[in-house]
Amino acid sequence: MIGIIDYGAGNLHSVEKAVKKLGFPTKVMAAPRDFTGIDKMIFPGVGSAGKAMEYIRRHGLDHKIKEAIKAGIPFLGICLGMQLLMEYSKENDTDCLSIFDGAVCPFQNNRVKVPHMGWNEVHQKIKHPIFRNIPDAFDFYFVHSFYVQPNHETDTIGITEYGEDFCSVIAKDNVIGVQFHPEKSAEAGLAILENFCANF
């Protein structure tokens, strides 16, 4: 069963629809009591870091997320769901979940158009199961104004160029984060989701 975390943000149902299209059963988790019978978890996201973390803490989801990750359950963060895995976000000066060491920083408006929106290449720094059957430098769909800056270089497994290189895929142990939206990235995005759901 693939658990999809509902924290009042957007695109949850598009992620759920994509996972079901691949043939995997899903369960939407909106409260701590829902975190049962789950083999893997997806943390989707559209919205602001401050409001998202406020919701997560108010509903006790932060503790359940950390417990699941500590227990070794495979975990995928998407866009804001990836960013909230860091220690801190400069969006709304927000303390996040601290699964990865590092911060979330804004693109500089004077260097590039913000938000970064559209198709862009992901260069694979490390061969990882999440990239199985996906060529290097393949295009995925992005919509974001902030990006993660991990403290440890080994946590960065994919990078994308937008004015400068930024980390677009992170991984550590049983946790993966992608800055792009696989549910909006056509066949390559479905391949990412299938790699996570079936092979990770």
- Per-10-residue mean pLDDT of the chain, 200 residues long, equals 88 90 95 95 91 94 97 97 97 96 90 91 96 96 96 97 95 98 95 93
Domain coverage including residue 75 = 2-199
Q: Map tokens 């909106």 to a residue.
A: 30
CATH number of domain containing 136:
3.40.50.880
pTM, 2 dp: 0.96
183 counts as catalytic: yes
Indicate the DSSP class of residue 114: S
Query: Which residue in 79, 96, 167, 197 is the catalytic one?
Result: 79
164 counts as catalytic: no
Structure confidence at residue 190 (pLDDT) = 96
152 counts as catalytic: no
How far apart CA 15 and CA 37 sit, in angstroms, is: 19
Domain count, the chain: 1
Give the three-class secondary structure for 56: helix
Query: Which residue in 96, 144, 181, 197 is the catalytic one?
Result: 181
Query: Which residue in 91, 96, 167, 183 is the catalytic one?
Result: 183
